[in-house]
Amino acid sequence: MRKRQDRFYSPGRRRIGDLMFSLSNTPIDTDALKRLVNTPEAGAYVAFEGRVRENNEGKKVTALEYEAYEELAVKEGKKILQEARKLDILKAHCVHRTGPLKIGELAVIVVVSSAHRKEAFQACEFIINEIKKRVPIWKRESYADGSTAWVNCAHGHDAEHAHGREERGQLKTTECGHDHIAKGARS
């Protein structure tokens, strides 16, 4: 797992806190992330774990795959964590999976520590909501009937998502308005 860290001085605090956003194509070590946000100053710790569920909008899901525009995703993820500082947190870490995932697997985790529970809960909710809204990560679900669909493709970026594949005819523009790699067209 590739880790990126930013260090900052929290307003009104003398201790340095940590922010980290990363993508991983391997299972996430939740215990290690939880240890990273642990600090003697924290009176509260909140974690959100998003997992692959077996159905979506009435369709039986058998698996899913996440794709990301890594450079922009990491940049925007770090920006969101910086914005969460306004909630007076000590540390915050977020890791989002990419690649194929099975039912029940962990897709994303957000861990936050702060002096008080209210700020930890607010920051955790803010971070996951903004990640889902703004970070260029796309989800393709596979269904029991053999069909697939790109779902929840709604973020606020107009950036190029083709990753250079349009010249090779490997892209498919979908109903979400983004270009996605055509099935079997990996480079």
SS3 letters for 83-113? HHHHHCEEEEEEEEECEEEECCCEEEEEEEE
| Closest to 12 measured CA to CA, from 126, 118, 116 | 116
Of residues 154 and 60, more confidence is placed in 60
**Residue-level pLDDT at 11:** 36
**Residue-level pLDDT at 154:** 56
Q: What is the mean pLDDT of residues 155-166?
A: 42
| Closest to 124 measured CA to CA, from 109, 135, 136 | 109
Q: Residue 120 has which token pair?
A: 């930890």
| pLDDT band at 153; cut points 50, 70, 90 | low
Beta bridge partner(s), residue 142: 63, 148
Is residue 150 over pLDDT 50?
yes
H/E stretch holding 70? helix 70-84
Q: How far apart are CA 134 and CA 157, in angstroms?
A: 7
| pLDDT band at 6; cut points 50, 70, 90 | very low
pLDDT tens-place string over residues 75-110? 999 999 999 999 999 999 999 999 999 999 999 999
Mean pLDDT of the chain: 81
- Domain-by-domain residue ranges, the chain? 6-181
| pLDDT band at 123; cut points 50, 70, 90 | very high
Q: Residue 163 has which token pair?
A: 């990753």
Is residue 180 over pLDDT 80?
no
Q: Mark residue 75 as left, alpha or beta (left: phi above 0; alpha: psi -120 to 50; beta: remaining).
A: alpha
Q: How far apart are CA 185 and CA 165, in angstroms?
A: 9
The CATH topology of domain 6-181 is Aldehyde Oxidoreductase; domain 3 (3.90.1170)
The DSSP secondary-structure symbol of 166 reads G
**Residue-level pLDDT at 30:** 95
Is residue 14 within 8 Å of 1, Cβ to Cβ?
Answer: no
Q: What is the mean pLDDT of residues 4-8?
A: 36
Q: What is the mean pLDDT of residues 129-134?
A: 97
Is residue 176 over pLDDT 80?
no
C-alpha to C-alpha distances, 76 to 40, 63, 81, 106, 130, nearest whole angstrom: 29, 26, 9, 21, 9
The DSSP secondary-structure symbol of 167 reads G
Q: How far apart are CA 50 and CA 29, in angstroms?
A: 14
**Residue-level pLDDT at 156:** 47
Q: How far apart are CA 141 and CA 156, in angstroms?
A: 21
pTM: 0.75
